[in-house]
Structure 1
Amino acid sequence: MRVRFTLLLTLALLPWLFLTALETLATIDRNRDSQGQLADVVAANAVGEVGRTLEAGRLGLEAAPQLIADMGCEEGAAEVLGRLGVYQAMIIKDDSDVPVCQSPASLPSLEMINPDPFRAQDSFRIERGRLGETDVVVLQKLFPSSGRTYTLVLPEKLGLKDVLDVTLREGARATLTKPSGQAIVGTNTFPTPNEGAMDRVSDTEVSLLNYTNDLGEDRRVAVQFFRYLDLYVTVSRDLRHERKVAFMNPYTSILLPIFAWLVGFGLIWIGTQTMLLTPIAKIRRTSRQFASGKLGSRVDLSNSAAAEVQGLAYSLNSMASQLEERDSRIADNMDEKDTLMREIHHRVKNNLQIIISLLNMQERKAETEEAIATISETRARINAIAIVHRGLYESQDLRGVDLEPFVSRLVSTLSESLATEEAGISLTQSVESCILNADNAIPVALFIVEAISNAAKHGAKRGGAIEVIITRPSDASLQIDVRDNGCGVGDPTAMRGIGTRLMRGFARQLSGTLDYLDNAPGLTARLTMPLIDNEAQPFQVSRKGR
């Protein structure tokens, strides 16, 4: 989603960026021209200022003898410096080159660097010097009548520090050059007069020229020849820096929309994350928790989420609350149903116990062995059904019966009912753990009752054994063996008693098969049935003879 928003924002800004680029190119040209014109004016003013400063110094030297004569040496020198302003020192020497006086009183020694001699026709000169460790410009006036030399010291920056460093900036410098080409201040960045270029320089106004020096630098030069000073004053600047400055401001016109695009992208990124992506992630996480069964999960969104997403979260929470309430009602109904079903199975079991008690009463009144045996068999069958119902209401799941405790209880009850211990018959069981469908539990129980009854009656004798073995040959089948070690039978297929018929009926009801195996000695009745849901076949017992 963020990528799509970014692409849309980029496409939306493309026309603006294109038009801004065209406007920037035009602005660069205009800006370069205006910057150049401004720099030319500043440089020309600087050249004129230097000329006026030097001329003021020359005039100050002319007036110095009279002021000193009137005010005294030190006070007169200080007065001259005070009127000139930018000059930093004044020194007066006699013929012996010994300072007569100076201002300020404490000065380092002044050293002249390669000075030209005074000309006979003009006793004024401007030279380069060093005052202590500082390079300076030296203005000197020789008065032959007194033999004294009056000297003014001017800083090398010529009072142009702010103009050069602040206004014209990088690469700008001022130069004082003699007609011979010797530089007094700075280095010569302009051809000497001998090269012919100075022919274009005026002595009445500042000339503006372009010049490429020996280092390959394109420079713009403001120059004027001051005839009364016999000096070229030059202020030059680097055009490359000027072009950089010309490009600087227009570039902001391009950078501004790019910056705006970046800010917009950041805001979209944060906005989509805060208003959409994070809330949607919370909704998705809560939905997964709800789907996994955590019905108490709810979406908790902050106020920063979009209103539409908050509406979606509200709908999801409302749906979750309704489902949780419905699930609670269903769970309550299921609990109530389970309770009722357990009560029903319990009452059925109690009613069967009442029937068993009635049969016991009837058995005590029976007079023949055949009647007693019939009642005993009936009681065992009813007891088996009662045990099934007991197992159902005692189990956690009403849909099935755990075979292991169920068969153990059934075998124990049959042992008492058939009096196998008094008859000297051992009755045991070996059951593999399995949950049997409730619909199949009763026919299985009745099958076991009939098989054990038949074995106790016709197979096992005193000292014999009857064993119930339940195994699972596969995950989809169950095998029930009731085995005895009695005398066996000659032909199992010829068995036609009611017990056999009942067992075959139970096998059909369970969608299984009944087989008799001769295990010499003894006989095994084997029921093999599937462990899948099958439609119960109708239980039918033939009414023909035993």
Structure 2
Amino acid sequence: GAAFAATSGSGAAADPGRLSFVAEGERYLGRVVPFSPGPGLEWTIVLAVAESAYSEKLRSADLRNFVILAFFLAAALLVGWLVVEYVTKPIRMMADGVDILLPGQDIPENVKALASRDNEIGRLSRSFAAMKGRLDDSFGALEASLAEKDVLLKEVHHRVKNNLQIVSSILSIQSGSLDDESAKAAFDECQNRIQAMALVHEEVYRTGSYVELGMSGYLERICETLSWGRDRGACETAIAVSVDDAAALSLDKAIPCGLVVNELVVNALKHAFPGRELGAVSVRFSREGAMWRLSVSDDGVGKAGAVSGEGIGDQLVAGLVAQLNGSIRYASPPGGGTEVMVEFPV
């Protein structure tokens, strides 16, 4: 037979049944198994298989599995790239374009490029562009409407102010033709009240704010008007106005509040300084918590000489304070004079 050499692999002692040998240049692996078919019979069965009979198939299977794995890996990378290139990237480009888009601004070029595609992303981009056009049209119409309303509101307030000024001028002319001093005083008081209302519309026209009116400038203008309108022979009175810069009231509260200040200051100018050449009136307006606080004080003769409670001005103040859902309180400070405090909710 053919010559061969047998080995025990890692040693016969470790695994006496294992067989490994080379025959005609080819390696064989096998097992040696003792077998006893009957009493007195001791056989040894030797089974050997050429290593190439199964190792080639294993190497072929490994190569086939590697090729399949590489193919699926390449396919997964390709699918991922396609998803990023044709889905994720266009959506991100569109989102970036939408984030920086402003009303009236042209659609970004990258979004326009997406709209030229013949796929779902392209249809989505075209729909977005169409929606953007409709929104721009609506926004433009809304801006035009708001601008028109702004012009109309300014014109309304301007005309109301002019009409009140005309009424005030008519009262002034009529007052000049009267000989009765009490009648003249009544006309002058009416004129002051009309001026206080006209100043609201003038401030609205000047600032362009139709929701709230800054009280600092408004109350200062009222007091300036009252100072200018004083008779030359009357007591020279300094009117100090202190208003929080942030104090602002809605128009339906600003008008009655201004009229209250007008009445209280006029009342102080008329009654607080009899026989005096100099006097001082202080107007303070501020917010304290959920309440607005208005204070008008003077250093005149005090409450007894300043408030009768039966005059038209006093009745008007009470009605205006009630309109503001507020309260009014009169006090005589220790240093003399009168202080009137009005509080009403914000």
TM-score range, shorter chain: 0.7 to 0.9
Alignment map for 1:53-452 (pairs within 5 Å) = 200-201=1-2, 211-213=5-7, 218=20, 220-222=22-24, 235=25, 245-285=56-96, 296=105, 298=107, 300-301=110-111, 303=114, 307-419=119-231, 422-433=234-245, 434-452=247-265
- Whether 1:495 and 2:309 are equivalent positions in the alignment is yes
**Unpaired runs of 5+ in structure 2?**
11-18, 29-49
2:328 partner SS? strand
- Whether 1:522 and 2:333 are equivalent positions in the alignment is no
Q: For the residues of structure 2 that align with 1:336 and 1:441, how far apart are their CA atoms?
A: 25
Distance 1:392-1:310 versus aligned 2 partners, 3 A rule: same
Shift of 1:389: 0.7
Indicate which of 461, 464, 467 corresponds to 2:282: 467
Shift of 1:442: 1.4
Q: For the residues of structure 2 that align with 1:491 and 1:210, how far apart are their CA atoms?
A: 144
Across the two proteins, how many residue pairs are aligned to each other?
310
Q: For the residues of structure 1 that align with 2:194 and 2:321, how far apart are their CA atoms?
A: 19
Q: For the residues of structure 2 that align with 1:381 and 1:494, how far apart are their CA atoms?
A: 20
Shift of 1:363: 1.7
Distance 1:242-1:353 versus aligned 2 partners, 3 A rule: same
State the partner residue of 1:513: 327
Q: Report if the CA contact (8 A) 2:103-2:136 is conserved.
A: no
Distance 1:508-1:284 versus aligned 2 partners, 3 A rule: farther
State the partner residue of 2:37: none
Amino acid at match of 1:414: L
Q: For the residues of structure 2 that align with 1:275 and 1:401, how far apart are their CA atoms?
A: 56
Q: For the residues of structure 2 that align with 1:212 and 1:390, how far apart are their CA atoms?
A: 120
1:371 partner SS? helix
Shift of 1:429: 0.6
Amino acid at match of 1:426: A
Q: Report if the CA contact (8 A) 1:415-1:421 is conserved.
A: no
Q: For the residues of structure 2 that align with 1:469 and 1:256, how far apart are their CA atoms?
A: 91
Shift of 1:320: 2.8
State the partner residue of 1:53: none
Amino acid at match of 1:260: F
Distance 1:210-1:282 versus aligned 2 partners, 3 A rule: farther
Q: TM-score, normalised by structure 2?
A: 0.78
1:515 partner SS? strand
Q: For the residues of structure 2 that align with 1:447 and 1:358, how far apart are their CA atoms?
A: 23
Q: For the residues of structure 1 that align with 2:156 and 2:316, how far apart are their CA atoms?
A: 27
Q: For the residues of structure 1 that align with 2:56 and 2:259, how far apart are their CA atoms?
A: 108
Q: TM-score, normalised by structure 1?
A: 0.51
Distance 1:366-1:282 versus aligned 2 partners, 3 A rule: same
Amino acid at match of 1:314: R
What CA deviation, in whole Å up to 9, does each residue of 1:237-257 have, x standing for no partner? 697688655432222222233
Shift of 1:422: 4.5
Q: For the residues of structure 1 that align with 2:236 and 2:300, how far apart are their CA atoms?
A: 13
Q: Report if the CA contact (8 A) 2:284-2:296 is conserved.
A: yes
State the partner residue of 1:230: none
Q: Report if the CA contact (8 A) 1:425-1:465 is conserved.
A: yes
Q: Report if the CA contact (8 A) 1:286-1:297 is conserved.
A: no
Shift of 1:261: 1.9
**Unpaired runs of 5+ in structure 1?**
1-199, 202-208, 223-234, 532-546
Q: For the residues of structure 1 that align with 2:52 and 2:175, how far apart are their CA atoms?
A: 129
Q: For the residues of structure 2 that align with 1:320 and 1:515, how far apart are their CA atoms?
A: 60
2:179 partner SS? coil
Q: For the residues of structure 2 that align with 1:236 and 1:249, how far apart are their CA atoms?
A: 19
Amino acid at match of 1:496: E
Distance 1:289-1:487 versus aligned 2 partners, 3 A rule: same
Shift of 1:284: 4.6
Instruction: Compare 343-352 and 514-523 and name the one that shifted more.
Output: 514-523
